[in-house]
């Protein structure tokens, strides 16, 4: 009985990782579209002082803009939302796949290979350059510089 309960809990945990609850009220919790798509009537259409249209035209224009923007967005999201979410899901899955199965292994392989190269490089530097610069430093160590002020 205890094993069956544990197995059932594991299945529920695995299912919950893929079926996350979504917030239907706050649909942009990370504010990624805060500055991008906030377009209101006043942001697009404005009449300067002295060139006003009739009040009825202004009110009707506002209502027409707002309602048409609202319903066009809803219609486009109903028609294209699901196919585009499939495409974006596929794209991000492909990026994740490439990163997991190609990029990270290549980087790890490079780091392993460069470690071998760095040892060979270090050996060459210590073998050829260290004696040369040590000899050069011994030659230059007896050089004395004296500064005199001439009157």
**pLDDT on residue 84:** 96
Q: How far is CA 14 from the centre of its chain?
A: 27
Q: Which residues of the chain have pLDDT under 50?
A: none
What would the pLDDT profile of 124-147 be if each residue is shown by its tens digit?
999 999 999 999 999 999 888 888
Q: What are phi and psi of 129, to 5 degrees?
A: -80, -40
**What backbone torsions phi and psi does residue 147 show, to the nearest 5 degrees?**
-105, 125
Alpha-carbon distance 68 to 76, whole Å? 12
- Phi-psi domain of 5 (left: phi exceeds 0; alpha: psi -120 through 50; beta: other): alpha
């Amino acid at each position: 009985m205890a094993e069956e309960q544990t197995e059932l809990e594991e299945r529920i945990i695995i299912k919950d990782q893929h079926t996350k609850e979504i917030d239907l009220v706050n649909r942009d919790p990370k504010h990624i579209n805060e500055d991008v798509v906030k377009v209101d009537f006043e942001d697009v259409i404005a009449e300067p002082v002295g060139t006003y249209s009739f009040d009825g035209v202004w009110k009707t224009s506002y209502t027409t803009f707002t309602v048409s923007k609202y319903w066009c967005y809803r219609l486009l999201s109903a028609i294209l939302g699901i196919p585009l979410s499939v495409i974006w899901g596929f794209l991000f899955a492909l990026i994740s796949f490439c990163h997991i199965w190609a990029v990270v292994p290549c980087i790890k392989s490079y780091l392993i290979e460069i470690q071998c190269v760095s040892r060979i490089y270090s050996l060459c530097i210590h073998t050829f350059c260290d004696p040369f610069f040590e000899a050069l430093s011994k030659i230059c160590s007896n050089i004395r510089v004296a500064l005199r002020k001439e009157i």
